[in-house]
A = this chain, B = another copy of it.
């Protein structure tokens, strides 16, 4: 296959959204330097899912990093927040509200209970279910988590812009 010349331009019409006029990439078949930026995404630029995936990756990494000192991950934070705002909820109710599997919530609560942040109190009215509560330690801890989470949220605002963040929240409000 020595002569792959410019096979090229085959991307043809569909792309159109490429940023730079793509110079010589398909030349000798060599993946040369490509600093990495003149590679077109083609149809992906029009897909919300791709942008959202990249964004979520960034946002979760920043969240984890910002709350690294307290070792709290996004899902753990969401669970504690909901329990703190609605004491006595069952695991089923929390799982359904947050859109996570109740099977997964078991392990999440295990770790949070192990760290003495939440407690599973046997429900008085239904011996199957547990009433979830924050411990005293959990409440003060959550207060700190919220401060750190607010700091993380400022990082988001810095990244995409204050008003863009507002719009984003408004657009996606129907999913919360």
Q: B-contacting residues of A (Cβ < 8 Å)?
A: 1-2, 4, 7, 10-19, 22, 25-26, 28-32, 34, 36-37, 39-60, 63, 74, 78, 81-82, 84-90, 92-93, 96-97, 99, 121, 123-126, 128-129, 131, 146, 149, 152-153, 156, 159-161, 164-165, 167-169, 171-176
Contacts of A29 in B (CB 8 A): 88, 121, 123-125, 131
- CB-based closest 3 A-B pairs: A17-B88, A31-B90, A42-B85
Contact check, A85 vs B124: say whether CB atoms are below 8 A apart. no
Instruction: Say whether, besides A28-B125, A31-B90, A123-B30, A42 and B84 are in contact (CB < 8 Å).
Output: yes
Contact check, B48 vs A153: say whether CB atoms are below 8 A apart. yes
Contact check, A49 vs B39: say whether CB atoms are below 8 A apart. no
Q: How far is the CA of A26 from the CA of B132 in the complex (A)?
A: 11
- Residue on B with the closest CB to A5? B96
